[in-house]
Structure 1
């Protein structure tokens, strides 16, 4: 936790002491003079709540190689089309967040020079068309979250070179038609969330190479029909959520190999006709959501042996499936919703 310094007039550098934290929100104030970061500044939150046009050039920080900035968070600069020159000089930057910068069309071409960047979030950058070609040089990046940047249509080449990436969340990346061919190279990826990619037809063939993946969420993949044949190689997968993937016809034959799976949500997978025959091998499964899986008519052999399974959701399922639910799930030790 960082302590806030005493109030310092923005743009008046004569007052700067060892400032480590700056929070500045513009509402009705006049734009300040173009300000520079004090050398000791580590965290900067700069927010614009005004409905008036504000030119980012009037408040964008003068960047110097001496900057100690670790976190830069910009919010609400709806008319900003590009970031300041010299961003690559922020060599200590670890966390970059851009919120509702609606007119931002490009990121700095030298973004890949930020060798210490660990976390990056882009939220509501609706005019951003692509990530820089040297994006793969962010060798220390561990978390990438992109929310509602709808015209981003592809990943940069060599995306799989982000060897330290642990978390990837992509929301409303609606132009995306395929994940990178080298996606399986993300060996340290632990959490993957993909929301509303209506054009995505398949996951990469080497998806099973993501040996450290613990959580996978896929939402609204209407054109996804099958999961990769090596899906069962995800030995560390603990949570799998497939929502409204109603084009999905079946689960992989090696699905029972997911020995660490604890939570399985298949809500809205209305095209799924049966569960795999080895489903009973999921001995650590604790929660199963089959809401609106209306085509399922029977339980696989061994389903009743899932002694750890305590929560089952069957709302919207066929009466046949409900009637065939093993009796040991109808006692006080289990919660069944939708019977």
Structure 2
């Protein structure tokens, strides 16, 4: 039943405007996504996009400016994407849900403001430092960076008071969990299993997820 409803939903979206996929609010078909990215014009109707890079990578598309999708809220990339393509990728500040396993760069685009992000899932990514220190993630609820082996620094979460779940399993370059985490009152799940370099983990009574026992280092000024 779920598959039938999903297919019906896609059909309704497709019938909104057969000739111009840029006027749809959801893009799922790789051919349609390629057409929209190649034209590279303002497409404010698009709110969700999901594509497999492996099925469009052989086409003559060297860059993509997703900022023209000024109301894009959900981006799902379900396969590996070439570094050269991602380096030129711009993300819209409207983005709320980002699912991009094996993200190939060391950080999110420098001109991307992640204030509206609610969830991001970037397992097995190449990320070292997710974003700039001065960026405040006030709407963030879920972080999934498991098996991001090169992650060495977490973003500023002191103002992320809505956050409930953080998965850092297998982040083997991560040395410390910031002391400010103990003030995240809604955080109930923190997975730091197999974080082999972790030296500091503050006490967080509200957390119920898997915890790695580590030496508690004193807070430094």
Q: Secondary structure at the match of 1:149?
A: helix
Please name the residue that 1:242 is paired with: 145
Q: Secondary structure at the match of 1:273?
A: coil
Question: Is 2:13–2:26's contact at 8 Å kept on the other side of the alignment?
Answer: no
Q: Secondary structure at the match of 2:28?
A: strand
What is the root-mean-square deviation of aligned Cα atoms in Å? 3.3
Partners of 1:116 and 1:290 in 2: how far apart? 43
**Runs of 4+ displaced beyond 6 Å:** none
Please name the residue that 1:144 is paired with: 49
Partners of 2:177 and 2:95 in 1: how far apart? 27
Unaligned runs of 5+ in 1: 1-22, 24-42, 46-68, 73-89, 95-110, 325-339
Give the drift of 1:147.
2.8
Pairing of 1:293-312 with structure 2 (within 5 A)? 293-300=195-202, 303=203, 306-309=204-207, 311-312=208-209
Partners of 1:229 and 1:283 in 2: how far apart? 24
Question: Is 1:257–1:281's contact at 8 Å kept on the other side of the alignment?
Answer: no
Partners of 1:215 and 1:155 in 2: how far apart? 25
Partners of 1:218 and 1:244 in 2: how far apart? 9
Structure with larger RCO (C-alpha < 8 A, sep 6+):
2
Pairing of 1:1-339 with structure 2 (within 5 A)? 70-72=12-14, 92-93=16-17, 113-122=20-29, 132-147=37-52, 149=54, 152=57, 154-157=62-65, 159-177=66-84, 178=86, 180=88, 182-183=90-91, 186-197=92-103, 199-207=104-112, 209-222=113-126, 224-230=127-133, 232-252=135-155, 254-300=156-202, 303=203, 306-309=204-207, 311-314=208-211, 317=212, 321=214
1:110-156 CA deviation, whole Å, 9 max, x = no partner? x7x44530111146x8xx98864224433201110113526637542
Question: Is 1:169–1:192's contact at 8 Å kept on the other side of the alignment?
Answer: yes
CA radius of gyration, larger in:
1
Query: Normalization by structure 2: what TM-score?
Result: 0.77
Tell me which protein shows more strand as a share of its residues: 1
Give the drift of 1:163.
1.3
- Equivalent residue pairs, number: 207
Tell me which protein shows more helix as a share of its residues: 2
